[in-house]
A and B are shown apart, each in its own frame.
Chain A
Amino acid sequence: MKKVRKDAASALDGLLFDGMTIMSGGFGLCGIPENLITAIRDSGVKDLTVISNNAGVDGFGLGLLLETRQIKKMVSSYVGENKEFERQFLSGELELEFNPQGTLAERCRAGGAGIPGFYTKTGVGTVIAEGKEHKDFDGETYIMETGLVADLSIVKAWKGDEQGNLIYRKTARNFNPMMASAGKATVAEVEEIVPLGALDPDCIQTPGIFVQQIIQGEHEKRIEQRTVREREDA
């Protein structure tokens, strides 16, 4: 079975439907599937539930899908960088479910690993725990969180091969590996598709079993907070 597609639109062909749930990898704008997000915008699919740690910024990343009102609900841990998000949320147009960041990561990991629920002490005694099962282990209280599975996961990796094996680069890995495993279908975009055998099998971070389609794309890699230091004169 061939997994390589020529572009984002053809990779998503037949996978999109209104009301679907999409996981989108990345932390801030780092390691986000830029090409697939643009193609989802262009497809016009709507009423989406999007599971992503953040919601992009105005005019870039998932901010593109907010501008076009294609997102009905976000499941995120932090959404502070987006004026359009704030406007839609405060006006009631957009639903929002906050998850603690580690809980969100683990929910994706669990979903991909066939684990429907797990216990964590994160959020005990806070609004996050309201309505959730509490259970004591060794004298400490935990709450139950559920695994997450998406109709579609879109992820960004550094390099991949035609089998869908992926490696990531530096902190651009973040949520991508768990989300790749938790999609009923997963589409990966990479900076370079390399020949089979070019990736060291010991270093593959997402085995190709989790990836159904792969594309090579151009990446702007916008920086949210460019912070630098001055060189001291020698």
Chain B
Amino acid sequence: MPNSVKGWDRNDMARRAAQELEDGFYVNLGIGIPTLVANYIGEGIDVTLQSENGMLGMGPFPYDDEVDPDLINAGKQTITELRRTSYFSSADSFGMIRGGHIDLSVLGAMEVSEKGDLANWMIPGKMVKGMGGAMDLVAGVKRVVVVMDHASKKGDPKLLHECSLPLTGQQVVDMVITNLGVFEIDRGKGMKLIELAPDVTVDDVKAQTEADFDVAV
């Protein structure tokens, strides 16, 4: 029965994604659940957040009297700077992304294939807003972690043999964290279930997954 099993909520998924952050990492967080990852960075883990509109060292939201229209993140939200902050142009920003200098990116997805293909930017027939920086991020960042619901709201699987939607990148995903568990992907080869959310069984996962996967829990 789709969506009837227990599992992780949004914050649990963000907390699990935060475990992928290592001390000294430069990290780019996408919009939505990935943004919540910043709330769960472990003690003793020092990471620098990149915002692709041109900033390293992104601070928290400002207090009301600190709001600065010249200081926003890639989601166009007002933010603050830190003592470590640097600013740069969009070309430099994507130079560090494309050039493989960013250690980790956490982003959302509509579909992921068992080979690591990612679709998260357009649904044919609906208004397309654009890919923004997503194609550059998945092509260039060293390690790409996807956080998403395991199945669509209608109960359709989102982990597939092949993506049905237009791709954001081919063989670009290294890990998928869903409300049911955690999968590791060997890009171009296949995926492996490495962790289950509480009270979730392998059969629960199989019932909501089209992709083939090995089980290593």
Contacts and interface: CB of A to CB of B under 8 A. Distances in A.
Same complex origin of A and B? yes
Interface of A: 27-31, 53, 76-81, 86, 89-90, 98, 100-106, 108-109, 120-128, 158, 168-178, 205, 221-229, 231
Contact of A173 (B54, B135, B170): B54
Size bin of chain B's contact surface: 35 or more
Interface string B134-161: 1110011000000000000000000000
B78 A225 contact: yes
Contacts of A101: 52, 90, 94, 131-133, 136
Contact of B91 (A122, A126, A177): A177
Given A105-B90, A170-B70, A128 B135 contact: yes
B7 interface: no
Contacts of B134: 100
A105 B166 contact: no
A30 B130 contact: no
A76 B132 CA distance: 8
Contact of A171 (B54, B64, B91): B54
Contact of A100 (B62, B70, B76, B131): B131
B127 A86 contact: yes
A175 B89 contact: yes
Nearest to B74: A27
Given A102-B136, A124-B139, A174-B90, A79 B69 contact: no
A221 B70 contact: yes
A122 B139 contact: yes
B18 interface: no
Interface in B28-60: 51-55, 60
B170 A102 contact: no
Shortest beta-carbon contacts, A-B, top 3? A102-B94, A125-B170, A80-B129
11 contacts: A77-B133, A80-B129, A101-B136, A123-B139, A125-B167, A158-B70, A174-B54, A174-B90, A175-B90, A228-B63, A229-B62
A171 B67 contact: no
Contact of A122 (B88, B117, B136, B171): B136
A78 B93 contact: no
B59 to A, nearest CB: 10
B10 interface: no
Interface in B81-118: 81, 87-91, 93-95, 97-98, 117
B98 A120 contact: yes
A174 B98 contact: no
Contact of A98 (B62, B130, B171): B130
Contacts of B87: 168, 170-171, 173
B62 to A, nearest CB: 6
Nearest to B75: A225
Interface in B144-194: 166-171
A224 B71 CA distance: 11
Contact of B98 (A28, A53, A102, A228): A102
A178 B70 contact: no
B68 interface: yes
B79 interface: yes
A222 B72 CA distance: 12
Nearest to A100: B135
Given A126-B166, A178-B90, A225 B76 contact: yes
A10 to B, nearest CB: 26
Contacts of B91: 105-106, 108-109, 177-178
Contacts of B69: 29-30, 172, 221-223
A226 B132 CA distance: 20
B169 A125 contact: yes
A84 B149 CA distance: 32
Contacts of A81: 76
B216 interface: no
Nearest to A219: B69
